Amino acid sequence: MSIVIEQLSHIYGLGTPFAAKALEDCSLEVQEGEFLGLVGHTGSGKSTLVQHMNGLLKPHSGRVVVDGQDLSKLKALRDVRRKVGLVFQYPEHQLFEETVERDVGFGPRSLGLTDDDVRERVRRALEMVGLDYHAVASRSPFELSGGQRRRVAIAGVLAMEPKYVVLDEPTASLDPRGRRDMLDHIERLHREEGVAVVLVSHDMNEVARLADRVIVMDRGRIVMDGTPADVFDDVDRLTAMGLDVPETVRLMHRLRQSGFDVPGGVLSVDECASLIRSLLAPGEAGGDAGEV
Amino acid sequence: MTVCTSGIEAADPDVLIDVHDVTFEYPAVQGSRVRALESVSLRIMRGEYLAIIGPNGSGKSTLAKCLNALLIPDSGTVTVAGMSTSNPGHVWAIRQMVGMVFQNPDNQLVATTVEEDVAFGPENIGVPTQEIRQRVKEALRSVGLEGMEKRAPHRLSGGQKQRVAIAGILAMRPECIVLDEPTAMLDPVGRREVLEAVRRLNRVEGKTVVHVTHFMSEAAAADRVAVMAAGKVVMQGAPSEVFSQAERLQQIDLDAPIGARIAEELRKSGISIPLHVLTVDDLADYISANALTAHRPSANRATELSTNTATARRSDVYRH
Amino acid sequence: MQVRFSEMALGQYYPAESMIHRLDPRSKLLIASALIVGIFFVHRLEGLAGFAAIICLMAVLAQVPLGYLLRSLRPLLIVIILTFAVNALFTPGEAVASVWIITVTREGIQRGLFMTIRLVLLITASSLLTLTTSPMALTDGLERTLSPFRRVGVPAHEFAMMMTIALRFIPTLLEEADRTMKAQMARGADFESGSLVRRAKSFIPLLVPLFIGAFRRADDLAVAMEARCYRGGEGRTRLKVIRMGFRDYLASAAVVSLVVFLAVVF
């Protein structure tokens, strides 16, 4: 079971004088339980692409198949929206209910579940984002801090119990601790609930840390698709597209450019440190430790 | 004992803003009062580039707003070029001298075209029409946006909007620009544009810059860093001094930039890396200069290695 | 970069460098008002023909394509047709045609034609104003016109500031509405099906966040404006100062005299 996107094209403002090609011939498959990172410069089409996954946008050519169902053949998209959850940027801006319970319950209620089921879903969803049901359920979402509000908004999508979750820059404008916590929750969600995650992000370090696979988009096309180690190694190409690479990768790249023999695919701080150690000091067994 | 004067006192001319023992509480919301600043003292020197870092809730934004009289301290004083912010008579002069750029690029732009927005500040302080035109032109040039005068704000990228906001402050000819997390809502391209503009303002045009941020790599570029936590300034000093104290930073939920972190790992295993190595570029430079000769390759090998690694991966990864 | 609501042309301004475009917005306001009032005063078709000539001349001078002018009639097409129909069918007089109980009279047709042409001329006269004057210029014009009345309490500057900020934020808010709608749809909101009542209620998840967002923006903006020394209209200078030139006086005088002539004679 997966989301299959085949040769998708989409044109903005079709029929108006402002028509522009947003997506061109995109093909992609998101497997059940996978963790996918989706990167690309602003305007490369990432948001447009993910909005096709839950039927918010319709392709102008090509097709989208979710768990075997072609979206263009479906009359009601409600089921797809349940299965494929989409969390937009700054999701805290969509809160509107009087209590956290009612807001998080909006999705489950729209599915027609019983009150008891809705409450259970709300409780579980809040737990998944690290909020205590009893502490927040009856409070107004607007009383909470910014970080908490964002988590409530995400819980609102998780309460639909989606199989695939797309998160568009979930760490946007969070401080380092907020970012860490958010990524921890996303990782736990992926690991414990088996949810497939598509993480749209500009932060290469977080994508490198969490993703099994990275998709790179450029001007409406998918141009790279591979493991983080493979994709981030082509520093020159990524830089030419105006993208960053993880800091560790950039360090290795610079060293390679200076002629040092360091391998590719180095993503973590520890790996970097041990590689550099061998360049600066002869080895574990004594000798002149320290710089030359 | 704090001495409050309403006149302009003679002070050290190198100190542009003197924050002295400032305490600030936000008014009660739902019962509890929040003490945002607790006996904070800080001096901002003319021409310097100061970064203020700290986790959310550390009081850094509150402190920033005290610098131009948007917020008045409950106790203690903030003196800008000898003028106290607690004196209502000085407020407008202070705000002209200390401009401020905020986090949300959209919610600072007030007019329907770029040039009219940049003109807003000068219009408010009564600059004559002809001069406004001149100032708008110069300000846009300083931030690299000449030619964009007639653009509508909603058609600009985040980075461009922030640069318009900066130009709007520049047109008021301030001495100091305070930027409160200016890149928090921007994409990497926008962030680069804004940082370049800010750096230029400090290095080329000599403006004093106070840059509040939670990006450690941005703070590494400053002359001096002040670290805040729970309403207090807990550390101050050159970036190398501050970022070398990894454990202390971790205690307040901050990290050093990645270069500094790798350097710290290396130091733990006995390799001494100088403290000024903070970014990966610093580290790469240092390694190139100091690697053991055994590992130092020739120039030919350099290019060979660079292309090889990239080509090996190419077939797996490419679509187009 | 959503190209939906926010690309809608606001107030149908058609940018060009014609002599009409370059007139001070106050003269254009005066001219448009004079035309509209004058059109109401004539009772004969010849009078309307005179006005039609003036408007056509101005449209040519304004370099506005005919298509744009005609398009401005579209929203009111039904009203125009109804005006003709009501007058043609219900005016007593000499019958010209008759189907069942519905009678069309000659007087009816004449009257219908008159009313319809009058309506069309009113619409095109106002359209010419908005096609040749940007919303910002209109705001400036209105502010300058109302300024002298500040002494009696008319908040001319505040009004202009409000208009400017509204014009600035409309495209931004439309984009936000789009995003909010999509975000709510992604979690099961349905804006399309159900009874009228149900559909009205379904807008709550759209309107509440928009309002809250708008208030938040207003807050931020107020602080940013204060930081830039905004303290109301006193002592403010302007980047652009609109000035009535020789052409403005000439054009206004010409049109006003023509209008008076037509209104009196016809």
Instruction: State how beta strands B224-229 and A35-40 pair.
Output: unpaired
Q: Minimal CA–CA distance to A151: which of A141, A166, A138? A: A141
* Cα–Cα distance measured from residue A248 to residue A270, given in angstroms and rounded to the nearest whole number: 10
- Provide the pLDDT for residue A103: 96
Contacts of C20 (CB under 8 A, 6+ apart): C28, C58, C61, C62, C63, C128, C132
Residue A6: strand, helix, or coil:
strand
How much is the pLDDT for B319?
54
C-alpha C139: how far from its chain's center? 12
Are the C-beta atoms of A214 and A37 separated by less than 8 Å? yes
Report the distance separating Cα B87 and Cα B52, nearest Å.
Answer: 26
Q: Does B307 touch chain A (CB under 8 A)?
A: no
The structure tokens listed for A187 are 């990782």
User: Order of strands across the sheet with A35-40?
Assistant: A84-87, A164-168, A196-200, A35-40, A213-218, A221-226
> Is the minimum CB–CB distance between A56 and chain C shorter than 8 Å?
yes
Position B190 scores a pLDDT of: 94
Interface residue A257 vs chain B (CB under 8 A): yes
The DSSP H or E segment spanning B84 is strand B83-84
Question: Bridge partners of A87?
Answer: A167
Q: Please report the pLDDT score of residue B222 as a whole number.
A: 95
pLDDT in tens, chain C (266 residues): 333 333 344 457 787 888 888 899 999 999 999 999 999 888 888 888 989 999 999 999 998 888 888 888 888 888 889 988 888 888 777 777 777 777 788 888 888 889 999 999 999 999 889 889 988 888 899 999 998 898 898 899 999 999 999 999 999 999 999 999 999 999 988 887 788 888 888 899 999 999 999 999 999 999 999 999 999 888 899 998 888 888 899 999 999 998 888 888 87
Q: Are residues C105 and C163 in the same domain?
A: no
Calpha distance C230→B105 (Å, rounded): 18
Cα(C218)–Cα(C164) distance, rounded to whole angstroms? 13
Question: Which of C221, C218, B56, C207 is CA-nearest to residue A95?
Answer: C207
Q: Please give the order of strands across the beta sheet that includes B32-45.
A: B32-45, B15-29, B75-80, B83-84
Contacts of C262 (CB under 8 A, 6+ apart): C38, C42, C47, C50, C51
Q: What is the pLDDT of residue B312?
A: 45
Spatial contact of A258 and B288, defined as CB atoms under 8 Å apart = yes
Residue C211 has a CB neighbour count (10 Å cut-off) of 11
The verdict on A244 touching B (C-beta cutoff 8 Å) is yes
Distance from CA of B198 to the nearest CA of A (A): 19
- In order of A45, A178, A237, the CA distances from A223 in angstroms are 12, 31, 10
Tell me if ipTM is over 0.95.
no
CATH class for the domain made up of A32-57+83-228 = alpha beta
In this structure, the number of other CB atoms found within 10 A of the CB of residue C245 comes to: 13
Q: How many residues does chain B have?
A: 320
- The per-residue b/e assignment along C7-34, b for 16 or more CB within 10 angstroms, e otherwise, is beebeebbeeebebbebbbbbbbbbbeb
Q: Are A45 and A28 in contact (CB under 8 A)?
A: no
* Same domain flag for C24 and C100: yes
Tell me whether residue C235 is in a domain.
no
Q: Are residues C79 and C173 in the same domain?
A: no
Q: C227 by DSSP, 3-state: which?
A: helix
Find the domain containing C216 and state its range: 148-227
Q: In chain C, how many domains are there?
A: 2
* SS3 label, residue A200: strand
Cβ-contact A65, A80 below 8 angstroms: no
- Decide if C139 is inside a domain: no
pLDDT of residue B306 exceeding 90: no
The answer to whether C45 and C265 are in contact (CB under 8 A) is no
Chain C CB contacts of B177 under 8 Å are: none
Instruction: Report the alpha-carbon distance of residue B227 to residue B214 in Å, rounded.
Output: 10
Tokens 């009772």 — which residue? C43
Q: What is the predicted pLDDT for the residue at C7?
A: 37
Residues C32 and C100 in one domain: yes
Answer whether residue C138 is part of any domain: no
Q: Tell me: the pLDDT tens digits for A47-60?
A: 999 999 999 999 99
What is the β-pairing status of strands B15-29 and B32-45?
A: antiparallel
Residues C118 and C184 in one domain: no
Q: Cβ contacts of residue B108 below 8 Å, gap of 6+?
A: B101, B102, B161, B165, B168, C220, C221, C224
Chain C residues with CB under 8 Å of a chain A CB are 1-4, 7, 176, 179-180, 182-190, 204-205, 208-209, 212-213
Q: Is the CB of residue B265 less than 8 Å from the CB of residue A273?
A: yes
C36 and C129, same domain (yes or no):
yes
Q: How much is the pLDDT for B98?
A: 97
Shared-domain flag, residues C180 and C213: yes
Verify whether the Cβ–Cβ distance C186 to A54 is below 8 Å: yes
Based on the domain organization, do C24 and C119 belong to the same domain? yes
Nearest-Cα distance to chain A for C24, in Å, is 30
Cβ within 8 Å, pair C1-A43: yes
pLDDT, greater one: A26 or A19:
A26
Q: Which two tokens stand for residue B308?
A: 């090889």
CB C236 within 8 A of CB C156: no
C231–B132 CB contact, under 8 Å: no
- Calculate the CA C5 to chain-centre distance: 19
The answer to whether the Cβ–Cβ distance between A258 and B293 falls below 8 Å is: no
Q: What's the full length of chain C, in residues?
A: 266
The reply to whether C258 and C220 lie within a common domain is no
Nearest to A160 by CA among C45, C188, C133: C188
Q: Where in chain B are the domains?
A: 15-237, 260-314
Q: Which of residues 62-81 of A touch C (CB under 8 A)?
A: 78, 81
Using the beta-carbon criterion (under 8 Å), do A160 and C187 form an inter-chain contact? yes
Q: Which of C144, C146, C139, C141 is nearest to C162 (CA)?
A: C139
Predicted pLDDT of residue B77: 96
Shortest alpha-carbon distance between residue B173 and chain A (Å): 30
C219 in a structural domain: yes
Does some domain include residue C80?
A: yes
d(C-alpha C180, C-alpha A47), whole Å: 14
Q: Which residues contact B7 (CB under 8 A, 6 or more apart)?
A: none
* Cβ distance of A230 and B296 shorter than 8 Å: no
Cβ atoms A106, A156 nearer than 8 A? yes
- Please indicate, yes or no, whether residues C54 and C29 belong to a single structural domain of this protein: yes
Minimum CA–CA partner of C230 in chain B: B124
- Using a CB-CB cut-off of 8 Å, the residues of chain C touching B123 are 236-239
Pair C30, C60 in one domain: yes
Task: Determine the Cα–Cα distance for residues C14 and B51; give it in Å rounded to an integer.
Answer: 47
In a domain, C48, yes or no: yes
Statement to judge: residues C23 and C129 lie in one domain = yes
Q: Between residues C102 and B185, which one has the greater pLDDT?
A: B185
Q: E strands along C7-118, which residues? A: 95-99, 102-105
How far away is chain A from the Cα of C193, in angstroms, using its nearest Cα?
Answer: 11
Instruction: Please indicate whether, in this complex, the C-beta atoms of A258 and B288 are within 8 angstroms of each other.
Output: yes
Q: State the smallest CA–CA distance between residue B51 and chain A in angstroms.
A: 15
- Joined tokens for residue B29: 């919301």
Third-level CATH fold of B15-237:
Rossmann fold (3.40.50)
CA atoms within 13 A on the CB side of A175: 20
In chain A, residues under CATH classification 3.40.50.300 are 32-57+83-228
- Rounded to an integer, what distance in angstroms lies between the CA atom of residue A88 and that of residue A199? 11
Binary contact (A234, B313; C-beta < 8 A): yes
Rounded distance between C-alpha atoms, residue B7 and residue C87, angstroms: 78
d(CA A285, CA C243): 86
Q: What is the pTM of this model?
A: 0.88
Instruction: Work out the angle at residue C39's Cα, subtended by the Cα atoms of residues C36 and C44, and round it to the nearest 5 degrees.
Output: 175
Other CB atoms closer than 10 Å to residue B7's CB: what's the count?
8
pLDDT in the model for residue A283: 58
Instruction: Specify the pLDDT at position A117.
Output: 95
CA separation for the pair B69, B90 (Å, rounded): 9
C107 CB near a chain B CB, below 8 Å?
Answer: no
